[in-house]
Structure 1
Amino acid sequence: MKRIEHTLLSPGLGSSRQLCSLHFGRAGQGQKVYIQAALHADELPGMLVAWHLKSALQALESAGHLHGEVVLVPQANPIGHDQTLLGLQLGRFEMASGENFNRNYPALLEGVYRRVKPHLSGDAAANTQLIRAAIRAELAAWPVSTELQSLRHRLMSLAADADIVLDLHCDFRAALHVYTGTPLWPQCEPLSRYLGSQAQLLATESGGDPFDEACSRLWWELQEKARQDGLDVPIELAALVVTVELRGQGDVRHELAERDAAAILEFLRYRGVIADLPAAELPPLDYPATPLAGSENLCAPHSGVVTFLVAPGTRVEPGQPVVEVIDPLNDRVSVLSSAYGGMVYVLESRHFATTGMGLAKVATPHAFKTGSLLSA
């Protein structure tokens, strides 16, 4: 294992932070895998999974079973982990700018396409290498003027030329679920099966330029750009990028982390990155993939005490009660249910609602949303 400390741009006199990356296997020989945890710094299950992965990858590396390179970043957001206010970890937004740590990553399409267009050929593998070189060149030219930008730049630089990128997050209270690009679902499905994922949310563009789409969307957009220009050249979907939501914020337990780490390693066996044993047989898919545009938000119609009537990971029928909001002053009781039916994959962790507050998310097969599909 090789450990590299990346110093971020200093925000002020006398202070600086480091991002640590752990490198296993041999770069340039086989696939590259990039795994990061806690980009939202208050989402900690992934850090425990990363710790279990670290020891497993060290053993696999020592035994010569890694065919390729695995880059592991157990703490993807040292800025957010230093933001504690009155004992509360504030890890989703940077306090200096108010920006979400998982938004506003660079859109590289135009610059990359300009670099590669004259050189694309009928060789798909050569085109992939050409595009990855252009991505690295675009990132090298990307201006950085704040600590947050330097963090985004470093994370993108570590991940952007990887074959597999796993971004480990969690939600408030949730079933394990994943987000990935619609064109990537065939590649992602085995991972969802090994993880036991209970919802799979697909989109070609969710809005806000999150980290996962900055790494993945470029590839199918390049396919479209070349098609529009009449270029008959093969461009692979060469980056499987998946946001893995490891249940809820309170699910930081060894038995869960060991299970999730084992599932990720099984997927790497399936992909040929680990060559010690054949991959286990694929388990069944718990719930089919659905469009992110079909994620139904159940919101409080008024303020009150919240009672959840189902657990995350429950399939509900149309009209089935999911949440109650009770106003004890005026005896108003509102029962929230899904209009479409589907998988309840996220519940709010708080039990007091303000008017309009989102309380539950249901994965449905009906794509009814437009515009930005992500929460703030």
Structure 2
Amino acid sequence: MQHHAHPLLSPVPGTQRNLESFHFGPAEAEKRVYIQGSLHADELPGMLVAWTLKQRLKALEEAGQLKAHVIVVPVANPIGLDQQLMDIPLGRYDFESVSNFNRGYRDVTERIAEGLESALTQDAEHNRAEIRRRFIAALDEQPATTAYESLHLTQQRLACDADFILDLHCDFNAVEHLYTTPAAWPDFEPLARYFGAKASMLATDSGGGSFDECFTLVWEQLRERFGDRYPIPYGSQSITLELRGQQDVARDIAERDADAILNWMRYHALIDGEAPPLPALPYPATELAAMDFLRAPAGGVVVFHRTPGEEVKSGDLIAEIIDPISDAVHPVRAEQDGMFYARTQRRMATAGMIVADVAGHHAHRSGYLLAP
């Protein structure tokens, strides 16, 4: 194992932070895997799973069983991890810019594309290597003027040449679910099975410039631009694993999730050894554009009638919003059949607040598909 500290831009003197990465397996390995935890710094299940993977990967490396080079960043957001207000951790948004830490990653597609056509050939592997070289160079050219930008660029530079990128998150109160792209689904469908994903939502571009898509969208756009004349394989496939809810921080759960990731790596021959038989997929993959955010029609006390992990039908009562002054009771119902997979932790709703998430089957949204 090698440990590297990557200094971030310091906002003021005396406040230096580093992004810490841990590297396992042969540096010259053909395949590379990047795993980070808790980019939203108040989502700690990912941090514990990443720490668990560190221990397991170290043992696999010592046994000579790692066939890929694996980078683990267990604390992906030291800035957000240090943000608390009145004893409440607030790690989703950057206090300085009021920006979501998992939005607005740098898009360097145009820089990579400059002069690229003259360097492309009919050799797909040559093209992949050339694009990766340009990807690294383009990110190295990017300036960072804030700590937030410095964090983003450091993460991108660490991950941009990985074949597989795993971003470990969680929701407020939820069951296992994930987000990836249609192109990556064949690679990650086995992981969805080992992980036990109750919802797997697919989108090529969800509209927010999130960490997972800042890699895959580059390859998608280059394939669209040059793919009719030159073979351009995907250089990176990425996935956001949602490790249930914020309170699901426990050793046994983390061990189970680490097992799922390591078994998926065995399935792809990234680790020596036979992968276990694939379990059944708990729920079929659906389009992210078919997912519904169910919102509170008015403010009031939130009372849930269904639990995440339950399949629901259109019209099913998910929750009630009760106004204790007027006695008004507002139902929140499923808008289509699907999987109720996540809900708010708050029990006092504000008007328009997202109360519950349902993975449906009827695509009806476009543009920006993510939560704020």
Query: CA deviation digits over 1:173-215, x for unaligned, max 9?
Result: 0111111112211112111111001111111111121111001
Give the equivalent residue in structure 1 for 2:289: 293
Give the corresponding residue for 1:257: 254
Task: Give the match for residue 196 of structure 1.
Answer: 196
Larger displacement relative to structure 2 (110-119 or 284-293): 110-119
- Compute the displacement of 1:31 (Å): 0.7
Cα distance in 1 for partners of 2:115, 2:83 equals: 40
**Partner letter of residue 364 of structure 1?**
G
CA distance in 2, matches of 1:222, 1:27: 27
What is the aligned partner in structure 2 of residue 274 from structure 1? 271
Provide the identity percentage.
47
CA RMSD of aligned residues (A): 1.0
Letter in 2 for 1:297: F
Any gaps of 5 or more consecutive residues in structure 1?
none
Whether the 8 Å contact between 1:181 and 1:217 is mirrored in structure 2 is: no
Runs of 4 or more consecutive aligned structure 1 residues displaced over 3 Å after TM superposition: none
Following superposition, the deviation at residue 108 of structure 1 comes to: 1.6
What's 2:347 paired with? 351
- Cα pair 2:132 2:235 within 8 Å, conserved: no
User: Match of 1:264, as an amino acid?
Assistant: I
- Give 1:240 shift: 1.5
Count of residues paired in the alignment: 372
Separation in 2, partners of 1:55, 1:64: 15
Question: Residue 232 of structure 1 aligns with which residue?
Answer: 229
Q: Deviations over 1:297-346 (max 9, x none)?
A: 11111111111111111100111111111112112112211121100111
Matches within 5 A, 1:56-71: 56-71=56-71
- The answer to whether structure 1 residue 325 and structure 2 residue 321 are counterparts is yes
CA drift at 1:115: 4.2
Instruction: Tell me the amino acid that sits aligned with residue 327 of structure 1.
Output: D
Residue 316 of structure 1 is matched in structure 2 by 312
Distance in 2 between the 1:309 and 1:222 partners? 47
Q: Alignment partner of 2:361: what SS?
A: coil
Distance 1:85 1:313 in 2: 32
Helix, strand or coil for the counterpart of 2:126?
helix
1:360 maps to what in 2? Answer: 356
Q: State the alpha-carbon separation in 1 of the partners of residues 117 and 310 from structure 2.
A: 48
CA distance in 2, matches of 1:181, 1:279: 24
Q: Which moved more, 1:206-215 or 1:327-336?
A: 327-336
Partner of 2:336: 340
Give the alignment's TM-score, normalised by structure 2.
0.98
Q: 1:373 — aligned with what?
A: 369
In the alignment, the residues of structure 2 paired with residue 105 and residue 185 of structure 1 have an alpha-carbon distance, to the nearest angstrom, of 22
Distance 1:291 1:20 in 2: 34
CA contact (8 A) 2:80 2:94 kept: yes
The CA distance in 1 between the partners of 2:181 and 2:2, in whole Å, is 31
**Map of 2:116 onto structure 1:** 116
Q: Deviations over 1:113-167 (max 9, x none)?
A: 2242211111111111111001001001111111111111110000011001000
Query: How far off is 1:30 after superposition?
Result: 2.3
Separation in 2 of the partners of 1:61 and 1:262? 16
Contact 2:35 2:166 in 1 (8 A): yes
- Pair 198,289 (structure 1): closer, same or farther in 2 beyond 3 Å: same
